[in-house]
Amino acid sequence: MNNKFFLLLSSLFSVTIGFCQPTIRQPDGGGDYRNLISIKDEMSPLQRASIIHMLQENEATLKAAKKLQKPTNPAFIAFAWPLKQALGYNDNGYYGISNYVDENPANPNAILDYNCGNRTYDQTGYNHAGTDIFTWPFYWQKMERNAIQIIAAAPGTIIAKSEGNFDQNCAFCSGACNWNAVYVMHADGSVAWYGHMKSGSQTTKAVGETVALGEYLGVVGSSGNSTGPHLHFEVYTNSSYAQLVDPWAGPCNNLNGFTSWWANQQPYYVSTLNKVMTHSAAPGIGNCPATEIPNEKINFSSGEVIYLGSYYRDQQPGQQATHTLYKPDNTVYSTWSQGFADYYSASYWYYYLTLPNPATTGTWKYEIVYNSTQKAAAYFAVNSAYVVICPGNYNILTSNISGTTYQWQVNTGSGFTNISDGLYYGGTSSMQLQLKAVPTSFYDYQYRCLVNGSSYSNTVSLKFVSYWKGTASKAWEDPSNWSCGNLPDANTDVVIESSPNNPEVSSLATCRSSIVNPGTAITVKTGYKLTVTH
């Protein structure tokens, strides 16, 4: 194996902090996400009756055609989680839970969840009948980019699909308002409803076809009577639809008690640092698409103000986060700690600071260690430098100068030429260029913006870098072990960071280059090979 795997680049990766305890600093903004956004849905009795009628008719048709097996008799189906991130995305977290099944049959204002808490809701004539899982942060952006997929929580047969309905609702509808949904019947005769899907995103499989555990069903959207993008996951024991299932076992589950329908039921609270980001301004958190303004930015200049954002699920009182800003040589530019005093099911916080002038040119890192157990980072370029991006992801490059006209250009090796909107680019005549899932073959491509026909912005080049997280296993071949959420290829640089598991290669793997941090190593198993192309 190439000796470069074991280079201990201490000059790049050693960090000296000249003090013992980071300064406590209060955030410059942010707060409770759910105080601003209340993710809810509702289904009228007429809509529910119509859906049940459709399902029962389809079931009879499928049975007559012998496309439905006679139910077997396991006591229950063990569900896997019904969401996953698309390839190219691997945030620490990507969702929160806004509502569980309402266990109190009275209404309104008489709520009770499975754990004897109040994380649910009701309305006059309606008790919430499913689990609402919202994507977080920036759920409209995630929906636009097809970042979060709905997958089959258990194998079964598709018995109905509803499609073609408007999918950007951000308030309850005043009139008829149907959702996009897929309905799956399992081997024991139970039925799962997957609702509020993005229009046009559903599986191409037809009614009567089977789906495997974890198979793609659609993308999280906000169709039907919905206040924002989320999955409504509703389950019944059989096709009479008379017995609702609350898949969460707990002391106040009045439907199925301490019998969980999850293969691995997660705790009531799952404190997670979902994402770390850098912004050009304070992130705009809004309920509707037009009011959600991420202000994401990954390239900056000396003396510019940078906003540092962090996004949490189930933040708890007494927890703490340590924030550190690293310069390109991995020395600490600034570090501070943040304490949490309140519980929020979803929260966001941001700080802002002015970069030094002059600032060291290169790639900087903003890293957060949350509650001493979780770590996440965002990387950003300063001055004329490369930006670190992931294949399959969306990224935005921002011109460092403003004007009235903009024209983005690319240099692929033969000089700069104008580019236009298309498969890989958007906003080519605006201040911000959208890179839409560009392939790794774009490595080292250079971009600049011609402003007002006479001035050029800083030049930024692309590098595809994936950081080893090792949170799932030792397997190099598992995409969830990599920060980019997909496997490195011949145009992807890899950085092996300290993690619960050092990587082991059990395939004919490839990467462009490798940096192995002190105390880590790559093991290539006998009979396999890791090719480093540079």
pLDDT tens-digit map of 406-459 = 999 999 999 999 999 999 999 999 999 999 999 999 999 999 999 999 999 999
Helix (H) or strand (E) holding 158: strand 156-162
Reported as a single tens digit per residue, the pLDDT across 194-241 is: 999 999 999 999 999 999 999 999 999 999 999 999 999 999 999 999
* Out of 10-19, 114-123, 269-278, least confident range: 10-19
Largest CA distance in the chain: 76
Residue 336's pLDDT is 98
Which range, of 4-8, 164-168, 526-530, averages the lowest pLDDT? 4-8
Helices and strands, counts by H and E, the chain: 4, 38
pLDDT per position as a tens digit, 458-502: 999 999 999 999 989 999 999 999 999 999 999 999 999 888 999
User: Where residue 37 falls among pLDDT bands split at 50, 70, 90?
Assistant: low
DSSP 215: -
**Would you state the pLDDT for residue 73?**
66
In contact, 416 and 410? CB cutoff 8 Å: yes
Q: Residue 12: is its pLDDT beyond 60? A: no
Which has the closest alpha carbon to 181: 196, 192, 191, 166? 196
Confidence of residue 13 (pLDDT cuts 50, 70, 90): very low
**pLDDT at residue 9 above 60?**
no
Residue 70 pLDDT? 78
Q: For residues 149 and 158, what is the distance between their CA atoms, to the nearest angstrom?
A: 17
Q: How many CA atoms lie within 13 A of 517 on its CB side?
A: 15
Q: Which position has the token pair 């490195």?
A: 488
CA gap 406, 431 in Å, rounded: 6
pLDDT tier, 351 (very low <50, low <70, confident <90, very high otherwise): very high
Distance, CA of 53 to CA of 440 (rounded, Å): 49
What per-residue confidence (pLDDT) applies to 174?
81
Of the candidates 361, 355, 359, 363, the residue with the CA atom closest to the CA atom of residue 298: 363
Contact 62, 68 (CB under 8 A): yes
Q: Position of tokens 């890192």?
A: 365
Which has the closest alpha carbon to 227: 293, 165, 286, 169? 169
Residue 19's pLDDT band (boundaries 50, 70, 90)? very low
pLDDT band at 38; cut points 50, 70, 90: low
Per-residue pLDDT tens for 296-324?
A: 999 999 999 999 999 999 999 999 999 99
Q: Do domains 13-29+272-463 and 37-245 have the same CATH topology?
A: no
pLDDT at 44: 83
Q: What is the mean pLDDT of residues 52-70?
A: 94
Single-letter amino acid, residue 131: T
pLDDT higher than 60, residue 178: yes
Using DSSP, state whether 140 is helix, strand or coil: helix
CA torsion, points 104, 105, 108, 110, in degrees to nearest 10? -20
Confidence label for 33 from pLDDT (cuts 50, 70 and 90): confident
Average of per-residue pLDDT across 17-30: 78
Q: Which secondary-structure segment (H or E) carries 36? A: helix 33-36
Mean pLDDT of the chain: 92
Q: Select from 198, 188, 106, 96 the least CA-distant residue to 143.
A: 198
Rounded CA separation 58/75 (Å): 25
Amino acid at 393: N
- 3 state SS of 57: helix
Phi, psi of 307 (to 5 degrees): -105, 130
What is the residue-wise DSSP string for 370-402? ETTTEEEEEEEEESS-EEEE-TT-EEEEE-SS-
Residue 176 pLDDT grade (very low, low, confident, very high; cuts 50, 70, 90): confident
| CA 103 centroid distance within chain | 29
Other residues' Cβ atoms within 10 Å of the Cβ of residue 423: 8
| Angle ∠(461,467,473) on CA atoms, nearest 5 | 155
* pLDDT per residue as tens digits for the range 507-520: 999 999 999 999 99
**Pairwise CA distance, residues 176 & 231, whole Å:** 20
Distance (Å, whole) CA 534 – CA 528: 19
Amino acid letter, residue 83: L
DSSP per-residue string spanning 2-16: -GGGG---HHHH---
Domain spans of the chain?
A: 13-29+272-463, 37-245, 467-532
C-alpha to C-alpha distance for 510 and 490, rounded to whole angstroms: 5
Q: Does domain 37-245 have CATH number 2.70.70.10?
A: yes
pTM of the model: 0.91
- Residue 74, pLDDT > 80, answer no
> What is the model's pLDDT at position 402?
95
pLDDT digits (tens, 9 = 90+) for 252-296: 999 999 999 999 999 999 999 999 999 999 999 988 999 999 999
- How far apart, in whole angstroms, are the C-alpha atoms of residue 430 and residue 420? 11
Structural tokens at position 404: 């009235």
Q: 388-406 pLDDT, tens per residue? A: 999 888 999 999 999 999 9
Peptide bond between residue 137 and the one before it cis (omega within 30 degrees of 0):
yes
Q: Of 294, 472, 480, 297, give the one whose Cα is nearest residue 378.
A: 297
How far is Cα 433 from Cα 381, in angstroms, rounded to an integer?
Answer: 15
- The HSE-up count of residue 257 (CA atoms within 13 Å, CB side) is 1
Percent of the chain with pLDDT over 90: 85
How many angstroms separate the CA atoms of 456 and 447, rounded?
Answer: 10
By DSSP bridging, strand 131-135 and strand 95-99 are: antiparallel
For the domain made up of 13-29+272-463, give the CATH fold: Immunoglobulin-like (2.60.40)
Please tell me the predicted confidence (pLDDT) of residue 11.
Answer: 32
| Terminal-residue alpha carbon distance, the chain | 14
pLDDT tier at 7, thresholds 50, 70, 90: very low
pLDDT of residue 172: 87
Q: What are phi and psi of 201, to 5 degrees?
A: -100, -5
Predicted confidence at residue 5, as pLDDT, reads 34
